[in-house]
Structure 1
Amino acid sequence: MKKVSILVPELSVMQAIADPRYLFTSVNQFLAAAGKQPLFDVQLVGYESEIKLNDGLFTVHPDKVLKEVTQTNLIIIPALAGNMETAVAANQNLVPWIVSQYNGGAEVASLCVGAFLLASTGLLSGKKCSTHWNFANKFREMFPDVEVVDGSIVTEENRLYSSGGASSYWNLLLHLVEKYTDRETAILASKYFAIDIDRNSQAAFALFQGQKDHNDAAIKTAQEYIESNYYDKITVDQLAEKVCIGRRSFERRFHKATKNSVLEYVQRVKIEAAKRSIETSRKNINEVMFEVGYTDTKAFRTVFKKLTGLTPVEYRNKYNKLAQKKVPLTVT
């Protein structure tokens, strides 16, 4: 049997511990119903025999403590909660065991912001990783040697797996089920848990809020100008002149502070405004396009899909209630 060790870290999300346990034990039941042998030996594993979560609201009693698990096949690191630096620091006692098991042949999967704990082991150094879109910049700040794959639902490299944000971790769990069993069982599990098995991007859920957690006042001024004037044509020279910085220096400082080039930032602000308009108004796509400063339909559609994973029409059909109710919306 495949030994699945679901970690119970301090400062972690209860659902991200319970869900993988529920899934893998359910798959055992599916296999038994089909006349097959159960495949997974599922255990909750913690540093201690009792771990309190949510300020003591929940108490988890792991099946095993770390020292009792000398060998496992798959380690699942659930999402952490609260301040990521604090949560990672609180769980450094798990790191040597994770590294030892990985070096012994185990696979390791992090769910959502569990990627922060996985990255703290050093195993992700020089590799790719997925995490919650809202924590991507913080992740880059804490682990600059790891490549964050923006918008990705599942990333796999060298027996290390990671997932996008929140419920996206179900897609990673299904991916692992398919790997260890077969496509048929994974599809059965996806139907049982009502999960879209082939969803491959979390981009449609992302909100661009700008990266202002920095101390460069001139760049903040430029960001605020972009966000207040996104409907106009904004050039790098115009912004550099506004904050009295040479162009090359401005571009370098802007990227360092925001983790985006100036063009990328302008595009993201424009598309975020377009998304809000598409979600809440009866305007057709061309009206929204002109409203946020685009005049080329192809360029707008290309950038929109690049940043959201959906075309403007697909996005409208997904998020606009009027479109869902089939109320006519003029679209060109």
Structure 2
Amino acid sequence: MTEAKKPLIVLLAAPETSASVLYGLYDVLLSVGAVYSDMVSGSPGDELLDIKIASADGKPFHCIGNIPVEPHMSVNNQATPDAVVICDMYTSIYDVPKGRYPREIAWLRKMHADGAMLTSVCSGSLLLAEAELLDGKEATAHWAYRDMFQRHYPKVAFRNESILCLAAEADRIVTAGGVSAWHDLAVYLIARFCGYKHAIETAKVFLISGHSEGQSPYSVMTRPMETSDAQISDCQVWIADNYALAKPVEQMVARSGLNPRTFSRRFRSVTGFAPIEYVQALRIEEAKQMLETDAQSVDDIGSSVGYEDPASFRRVFKRGVGLSPAAYRKKFQRIAQIAKPIAAG
């Protein structure tokens, strides 16, 4: 009897890839079917997935941290995998990867045309955007790339709150958020190709719990200052210290000397935010930092950042962060409890 062909999953990596993502995915996916039974009964099972590492030319290289990588194959390999995982390809939030991965992008287009599922972790989705495979679709990456997607890939509906974006699953495209979102993607791939039972068992082996609350609680507002528009730049500097004042947008408009409609248009063009959204994001960012480190009541924190109505503060906070102020404080206090003994020395 002929042995059933294992699903082939290819991990696409480059020198800009994090070793934790590449080798974490490799270890977890390779263990499916084998390790759980060994741990609970002392009898290892069969590996259910065929996992290969690929790079542009297939030659050994060093990834981030000078960690050696020996790929199994190059992108010239003609075999069509069941799925490709584009590992993170780190780039600065100012450095759009135009023209940086031509061979990888050509291969991704071909693999997708041939029927492979394409998935990505973190900045790996930039390659899918460069390949124009995300045009007209929802997708995610690390929250820090929100502005890059809005400015340079406007045809992509960027979901900065998502850990695992399945909106384009029917088109065989799934994207995952920050680097640790590879956990969620791994569980998804195991369930898809090996079944729910193996996904649960593997999660138990590696203590993978997923990020059910999404990226929003971890997101930080990125505030690159615009220098080409002096009036808007001046308002950005001013509002950074005056976000708690009453009617801050009206004060920025008056400061700029522009009419409200022109100000709003130019402000959005420069920052990616409507003026009131920008103010709210600044206020919430400050409130988050206070909740992490300050013992003040939630109502007092809301008042100090510009919300006299506690209900309004809670509503805006939860809409932006995905958690109530109290739940956010509780979540990050756990981290503080781990860090405090170390900080105390």
Question: Would you call these one fold, judging by a TM-score over 0.5?
Answer: yes
Alignment pair present for 1:209 and 2:222 = yes
Amino acid at match of 2:130: S
| Of 305, 311, 331, the match for 1:318 | 331
What secondary structure is seen at the aligned counterpart in 1 of 2:286? helix
Alignment pair present for 1:17 and 2:22 = yes
Amino acid at match of 1:71: T
- Residue aligning to 1:118: 128
What secondary structure is seen at the aligned counterpart in 2 of 1:320? helix
Amino acid at match of 1:89: G
What secondary structure is seen at the aligned counterpart in 2 of 1:49? coil
Counterparts of 1:1-332 in structure 2 under 5 Å? 1-30=6-35, 38-54=47-63, 57-83=66-92, 85=95, 87=97, 89-156=99-166, 157=168, 158-197=171-210, 199-213=212-226, 215-320=228-333
TM-score by length of 1: 0.90
| Structure 1 residues 133-175: Cα deviation after superposition (integer angstroms, max 9, x where no partner) | 1121122222111110121101120211111112122112212
Distance across 1 between alignment mates of 2:85 and 2:100: 17
Distance across 2 between alignment mates of 1:284 and 1:265: 24
Deviation (angstroms), 1:83: 3.9
Structure 1 vs Structure 2 CA RMSD? 2.4
Distance across 2 between alignment mates of 1:292 and 1:229: 9
8 Å contact 1:32–1:38 — kept in the other structure?
no
Stretches of structure 2 that go unaligned for 5 or more consecutive residues are 1-5, 339-345
Q: Residue 313 and residue 189 in structure 1: after superposition, are their counterparts in 2 closer, same or farther (change >3 A)?
A: same
What secondary structure is seen at the aligned counterpart in 2 of 1:39? coil
Deviation (angstroms), 1:315: 0.9
Q: Which consecutive segments of 4 or more residues in structure 1 shift more than 6 A?
A: none
Amino acid at match of 2:61: K
Distance across 2 between alignment mates of 1:219 and 1:55: 37
Distance across 2 between alignment mates of 1:269 and 1:218: 19
- Residue aligning to 2:3: none
- Residue aligning to 1:329: none
| Structure 1 residues 105-141: Cα deviation after superposition (integer angstroms, max 9, x where no partner) | 1000010011111111111111111011112112222
Stretches of structure 1 that go unaligned for 5 or more consecutive residues are 326-332
Instruction: Name whichever of 120-129 and 5-14 sits farther off.
Output: 5-14
What secondary structure is seen at the aligned counterpart in 1 of 2:32? helix
8 Å contact 2:120–2:174 — kept in the other structure?
yes
8 Å contact 1:152–1:164 — kept in the other structure?
yes
Distance across 1 between alignment mates of 2:37 and 2:292: 45
Distance across 1 between alignment mates of 2:178 and 2:65: 25
What secondary structure is seen at the aligned counterpart in 2 of 1:89? coil
Q: Residue 135 and residue 314 in structure 1: after superposition, are their counterparts in 2 closer, same or farther (change >3 A)?
A: same
Q: Residue 88 and residue 30 in structure 1: after superposition, are their counterparts in 2 closer, same or farther (change >3 A)?
A: farther
TM-score by length of 2: 0.87
The count of corresponding residues between Structure 1 and Structure 2 is 325
